[in-house]
């Protein structure tokens, strides 16, 4: 049985495009500090939500907090923030994406999540599909699913959805 998704209430409005409601849910969501995986994921969602809301003071404060708690996430989160705020990518992102394509299973999930999300945002669908080729992570599969929809490959989107159902039919991302 799959672990209960602690971020379910945050993810649902986020993926439905309601950043304000997602932010409200994030503020109410209390994660134990020993649960680093969910804490890191919450921080990534917060970065994306605050960038979407255009709240730069809170985004700056969050980046400081991330640096203090999860220093390994700073560069990748910075890339995401730079793109979301300025609309351009840091020079090193392309190189990092190419390294990840060569060996996606060796990348920590938080780094891979940022790279996948950036390839989707920049519509670099070839890189997106290479990065998510053999993943069983539902968030990455959901981005892959959206990528196939963007390029009108409904047949491959359906295959991806079927894979998502196999991985976690009751997960909020599969349901959405």
pTM score > 0.85 for this model? no
Of the pLDDT bands very low, low, confident and very high (cuts 50, 70, 90), residue 1 is very low
Locate 156 and state its tokens.
């491959």
Q: How far is CA 135 from the centre of its chain?
A: 14
How many other β-carbons are positioned within 10 Å of the β-carbon of residue 49? Answer: 25
Distance CA 139, CA 150 (A): 17
Contact 121, 52 (CB under 8 A): no
Distance (Å, whole) CA 79 – CA 89: 7
DSSP 30: -
Q: Give the integer Cα–Cα distance in Å for 100 and 94.
A: 10
Per-residue model confidence (pLDDT) at position 21: 92
- 90 within 8 A of 123, measured Cβ to Cβ: no
Of 66, 68, 18, nearest in space to 42 by CA: 66
pLDDT digits (tens, 9 = 90+) for 21-80: 989 998 888 888 788 778 878 888 888 888 888 888 888 888 877 777 766 667 777 787
Instruction: Supply the mean pLDDT for the chain.
Output: 82
Residue with the larger pLDDT of the pair 107 and 131: 131
């Amino acid at each position: 049985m799959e672990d209960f998704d602690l971020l379910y209430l945050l993810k649902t409005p986020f993926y439905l495009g309601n950043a304000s409601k997602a932010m409200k849910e994030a503020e109410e969501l209390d994660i134990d500090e020993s649960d680093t995986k969910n804490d890191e994921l919450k921080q990534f969602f917060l970065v994306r939500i605050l960038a979407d809301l255009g709240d730069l003071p809170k985004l700056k404060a969050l980046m400081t907090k991330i640096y203090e708690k999860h220093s390994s996430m700073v560069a990748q989160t910075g890339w995401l923030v730079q793109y979301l705020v300025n609309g351009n990518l840091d020079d090193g992102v392309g190189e990092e994406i190419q390294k990840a394509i060569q060996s996606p299973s060796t990348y920590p999930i938080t780094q891979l999540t940022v790279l996948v999300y950036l390839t989707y945002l920049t519509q670099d669908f070839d890189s997106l599909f290479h990065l998510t080729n053999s993943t069983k992570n539902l968030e990455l599969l959901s981005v892959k699913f959206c990528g196939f929809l963007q390029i009108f490959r409904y047949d491959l989107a359906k295959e991806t959805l079927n894979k998502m159902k196999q991985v976690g039919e009751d997960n909020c991302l599969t349901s959405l």
